[in-house]
């Protein structure tokens, strides 16, 4: 492994972070679990996995990570957020708890559990811009995008609702690409942000 190759961090406070690590390994990039400010200092990009967004917001605050992560995002660090990660990166969370904080990193409005409760979870194939084959998307208590800003690029939709969007170096998905056994979206994130392989 190249000691100077960029490391992609995976926020490891909650959620399916190990599955993201496997997808990134398949793409060929080095990863590091991020649980502290010291971990965050060692990475050049970050994946924010699914989980429970209010719990993740609280854990980010109690771990001392929130403000430093906000600074890194504001400085342009590439971030890929999935499900709860999308909620945490959105500029507006329509039904968030009063104490829930988000990073305002991508100009979208989202509704938590917008597709329903756990029992309403579903899987479907979606068309992703630039990809010849469909991507199998797993929606679990997924957030729903209700508005996108003018600088946001919609890369995939389901029933005319954006489910994969990007703005600058920030990419978010309302579903769980790490559970599909398909690393194409992780590869897309790495290539778009010109992250060199290990």
Kindly name the residue from 20, 21, 83, 186 that is annotated as catalytic: 83
Query: Does residue 83 have an active-site annotation?
Result: yes
Helices (H) and strands (E) in the chain, counts: 6, 12
Kindly name the residue from 20, 21, 158, 178 that is annotated as catalytic: 178
Kindly name the residue from 20, 21, 158, 176 that is annotated as catalytic: 176
Query: Does residue 92 have an active-site annotation?
Result: no
Which residues, including other chains, have CB under 8 Å from residue 137's CB and lie 6 or more apart? 123, 124, 125, 126, 156, 158, 163, 173, 175, 176, 177, 180
**What DSSP state is assigned to residue 196?**
P
Query: Does residue 176 have an active-site annotation?
Result: yes
Beta bridge partners of 81: 48, 172
By annotation, the residues acting in catalysis are 83, 176, 178
């Amino acid at each position: 492994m190249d000691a100077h190759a960029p490391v992609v961090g995976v926020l490891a406070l909650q959620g399916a972070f190990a599955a993201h690590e496997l997808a990134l390994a398949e793409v060929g990039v080095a990863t590091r679990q991020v649980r502290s400010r010291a971990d965050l200092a060692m990475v050049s990009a970050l994946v924010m996995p699914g989980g429970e967004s209010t719990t993740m917001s609280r854990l980010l605050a109690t771990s001392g990570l929130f403000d430093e992560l906000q600074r890194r995002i504001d400085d342009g660090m590439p971030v890929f957020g999935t499900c709860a990660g999308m909620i945490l990166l959105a500029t507006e969370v329509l039904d968030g708890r009063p104490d829930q904080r988000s990073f305002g990193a991508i100009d979208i409005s989202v509704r938590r559990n917008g597709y329903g409760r756990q029992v309403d979870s579903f899987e479907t194939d979606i068309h992703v811009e630039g990809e010849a084959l469909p991507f199998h998307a797993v929606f679990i208590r997924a957030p729903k995008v209700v508005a996108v800003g003018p600088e946001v690029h919609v890369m995939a939709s389901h029933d005319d609702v954006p489910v994969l969007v990007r703005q600058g170096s920030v990419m978010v998905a309302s579903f769980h690409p790490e559970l599909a056994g398909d690393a194409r979206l992780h590869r897309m994130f790495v290539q778009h942000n010109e992250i060199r392989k290990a």
